[in-house]
Amino acid sequence: MPIFHLLSCSIVVFFVLYAPQPLLAMFAEHYQVSPAKAGLLMTVAMLPLAIAPVFYGLVLTRRCKLTMLRYTMLALAICCLVISVTRQFEIFLFMRFIEGLLLPAALTSMTSYIGHTWQGQNLREKMTWYVGSTIVGGYAGRALAANFANLWGFESFYLFNAGLLVVLALMIRPSHNKRDDSKPIISPKDYLKPIKTTQLLRLYSAVFCMFFCFSALLNYLPFILSNEFDIKDPSTIAWVYSGYLVGAIISMLTPFLSKVSRNNWLILSVLFAIYSGSLLIMQWRNIDTFIVMFTLFCACMFMIHASAAPLANEISTANAGVTNGAYVSFYYCGGALGTFVPGFIYQLYGMHVFLLSLLLVCITGGYLTLLNYRSGKVTQLGS
């Protein structure tokens, strides 16, 4: 499968996941529900993403990755069509849950295909491109959904997304020629054992912390902009998400960080420090400063993700499907909790305590990478 086609599939799949986010405040008002309940539209989609990838990773050790990707995208298209015609919040919420069950199949298929097809520096390069495509998909999904909602209603975006999913899915041509020569995994114990090393679990846990903070801030960004800075227009809120796109561009430079330092754990520790610093400066109630720090925050998150994803494949001795399934599980477990739990903190105590709570989680992630740095473990691209 050409890498450009794979990246295009990634972008459109991420449309599905993130499209509701800039519209949460609008949904809360439209359906007369609280911000935390509106946030469930993201939570119910991310919660299965925290669990299902482990199962899909096991399935992908025995099944064609591209076949699973194709049928998953067609199923996601059906969900988009249902959302476009429903008028009840409960049905919308249920469809988001179904999407959450389907999305990890697509994400694990794509990351496993990359991990199985490329090695070494090529792996880091292709994984960075993939991470960049997820960022573009996340930003474009948010921006397009907000603007479609303003012009023609949010239903029009879901029809558009369904059409893209069908076209790209039908273009996939699964190949059964390249076989996975990894040792067959015959039990859950065999499946989990290779990923239970201290070094790898610390990395996964740091990724959990990273995406917990990121999901929390992006999920409640519409409410912060509306309540703290009096920005209520969905199109303007979508523009603020441009910091997300800037991060995509910066993250493409991540492979070059290995030329600055060949110690991957040091790179991750420094990135976490900057990530934490941006959250601290956001406390200053100034919209220009907030947007600049939000952009820096996004850039750091993407660079951490682009560094951690290939690093997990390099230090793991497990099958690519196993390694990436666990990575996606930890990643979206943090995302699922981040879209919901901090909402209560924001509702009860406001923006400053909300940001401080995220800062504590972020510092925890940085500490875990620092522990790996101090341990002096050897990786493929540095000590």
pLDDT at 381 > cutoff 80: no
Q: What's the rounded mean pLDDT across residues 115-129? A: 76
pLDDT at 168 > cutoff 70: yes
- 10: how many CB neighbours lie within 10 A of its CB? 25
Q: What's the rounded mean pLDDT across residues 280-286? A: 88
Report which of residues 102 and 22 the model is more confident about.
102
- pLDDT band for position 368 (50/70/90)? very high
Out of 178-187, 204-213, 221-230, which region has the weakest mean confidence (pLDDT)? Answer: 178-187
pTM of the model: 0.74
Report which of residues 87 and 164 the model is more confident about.
164
Q: State residue 377's pLDDT score.
A: 46
Residue 254: strand, helix, or coil: helix
Structure-token pair, residue 260: 């600055």
What sign results for the dihedral spanned by CA atoms 367, 368, 371, 373? negative
What sign results for the dihedral spanned by CA atoms 303, 100, 29, 348? negative
What span, in angstroms and rounded, lies between the C-alpha atoms of 315 and 123? 13
Q: State residue 70's pLDDT score.
A: 93
- Residue 55, CB half-sphere, CA atoms under 13 Å: how many? 10
pLDDT at 169 > cutoff 70: yes
What distance, in Å, lies between the first and last C-alpha atoms of the chain?
34
Percent of the chain clearing pLDDT 90 (strictly above): 27
Residues 364 and 212: beta-carbon distance below 8 Å: no
For residue 181, count CB atoms less than 10 angstroms from its CB and return exposed for 0-12, middle for 13-18, buried for 19 or more: exposed
DSSP 189-214: HHHHGGG--HHHHHHHHHHHHHHHHH
Q: Mean pLDDT for the chain?
A: 82
Q: What's the rounded mean pLDDT across residues 84-109? A: 88
| Helix 287-315, helix 264-281: angle, nearest 10 | 160
- 373: how many CB neighbours lie within 10 A of its CB? 18
Residues 223 and 25: beta-carbon distance below 8 Å: yes
- pLDDT band for position 382 (50/70/90)? very low
Q: State residue 212's pLDDT score.
A: 94
Q: State residue 288's pLDDT score.
A: 87
Report which of residues 30 and 89 the model is more confident about.
89
Residues 135 and 302: beta-carbon distance below 8 Å: yes
Q: State residue 226's pLDDT score.
A: 82
Q: State residue 234's pLDDT score.
A: 65
Q: State residue 189's pLDDT score.
A: 60
What span, in angstroms and rounded, lies between the C-alpha atoms of 356 and 311? 29
| Domains of the chain, earliest start first | 3-173+191-375 (1.20.1250.20)
Which residue, chain included where needed, has tokens 């059964």? 176
Which residue, chain included where needed, has tokens 């991060």? 247
Residues 105 and 52: beta-carbon distance below 8 Å: yes
pLDDT at 178 > cutoff 70: no
Per-residue model confidence as pLDDT tens digits over 29-69: 777 777 778 878 888 887 787 777 667 766 766 677 888 89
Q: State residue 361's pLDDT score.
A: 96
Q: State residue 356's pLDDT score.
A: 95
pLDDT at 258 > cutoff 50: yes
pLDDT at 187 > cutoff 60: no
Structure-token pair, residue 286: 């100034």
Residues 54 and 325: beta-carbon distance below 8 Å: yes
Cβ partners under 8 Å of residue 106, min gap 6: 9, 13, 68, 69, 72, 73, 76
What span, in angstroms and rounded, lies between the C-alpha atoms of 172 and 170? 5
